[in-house]
Amino acid sequence: MDTFGIQILIGLLVFSVVFLVGFSIAFLRSRSKSKSLDVRMVGVFEDDPLLEKPEEKSGFLRFIEKVGNIASHGRSDAELWEQMIQAGYLNPHAPAVYTGIKIFLFLIGIVATFILVFLIDRFRVDLEKMEFMTKSMIVLLGATVFFFLPNLFIWYRMKKRHDQIYRHLPEAVDLLEICVSSGLGLDMAWNIVADEIMHVCPVLSNSMSLTNFEMHLGVSRVDAMKHMAERTGVEELRSLAAILVQTDRFGTSIAETLQIFAKSIREERSFLAQEMAEKMSVKMLIPMILFIFPSVLIVILGPAFIKIFHGFDKF
């Protein structure tokens, strides 16, 4: 096989690996689209045709779930379950599927890296062959990278949902304050705000709807809001629950409290933006020194050096 054929084969192999990784990420993203409360509360409304039944799962998904259950012995770690909830996966089978995908990607990483190392070592005619230990380390490193890809994806999902809630929380609190000031109760105002912000921030709207559902089941407002803070990972919601507890205890105005809380969140967000702006000048030093400054020197001093060299050639 000539060099051109080797390059095509390596290119096809890399494309296959990237395609499999992209397919796995797209599969997880397709299951995390915004759904209504009835769809996300799996097992509550069993007669809902939109809910996914166990027999309706695809064969691949059932296989991945079984692999995850075998690896985790049918028990999900509390921290993993919390991360899956904060990432938006409320299905009780999500931790098992997540574990199965990690194992599946680990095996793909072993096979893909082994084939790549074999092809590179097979056609290195003019160089020394790689040792077995070196090959093993490369294969293990590639499999480890594939194994931790779902961790990066879950972290990205958690951060994205956290940022969306943190961004739209002041507006939601303002709407709550307006509704309460107009004479509505806090529970009714909570329902109205959850419906109004559905098209603006579905993540926050679904979290508020789920909190309202818990309150209808008999959970206290404070506990339901603490559960909401745990599901989303946003500490500002825990602070809001504590403020409402103090308001009920001391009999202060809820509208005024919500207004002050929304203002404090905006001020904190403004201070954070100013802090990031101050750090930007320091962070820009590295690309300026490595990329911009050498280019400017070449453009400015390049013609001068060329003329100097030509001047020396005449002597």
Interval 129-177: pLDDT, tens: 667 777 778 888 888 888 888 889 999 988 888 888 888 888 888 888 8
pLDDT tens across 175-190, in order?
A: 888 888 888 888 888 8
The dihedrals phi and psi of 305, each to the nearest 5 degrees, come to: -65, -35
- DSSP H stretches of helix in 217-290: 221-232, 235-250, 254-283, 285-287
The pLDDT value recorded for residue 247 is 80
Long-range Cβ contacts of 190-198 (<8 Å, 24+ apart): 197/168, 197/171, 197/172
List the chain domain ranges: 3-147, 161-279
Highest mean pLDDT among 8-12, 259-263, 305-309: 259-263
**Yes or no: domain 161-279 corresponds to CATH 1.20.81:** yes
The fraction of the chain above a pLDDT of 90, given in percent, is 0
pLDDT digits (tens, 9 = 90+) for 85-108: 888 888 888 888 888 888 888 888
Structure-block tokens of residue 246:
């103090």
Type of residue at 126: D
Q: Which two tokens stand for residue 179?
A: 């509704």
pTM: 0.65
Return the closest-CA partner of residue 142 out of 54, 21, 235.
21
Q: What one-character DSSP code corresponds to residue 253?
A: -
Q: Is 249 a residue whose pLDDT tops 80?
A: no
pLDDT of 59 higher than 80: no
Coil vs helix vs strand at 32: coil
At a CB cut-off of 8 Å and minimum separation 6, what does 3 contact? 123
Closest CA to 161 of 308, 32, 66, 11: 32
DSSP letter at 56 equals: G
pLDDT band of residue 26 (cuts 50, 70, 90) is low
**Distances in whole angstroms, Cα of residue 3 to Cα of each of 6, 8, 313:** 5, 9, 43
Higher pLDDT, 51 or 91: 91
142 and 110 in contact (C-beta within 8 Å)?
Answer: yes
Q: What is the mean pLDDT of the chain?
A: 76
Cα–Cα distances in Å, from 190 out to 39, 81, 179, 201, 205?
Answer: 20, 27, 9, 15, 10
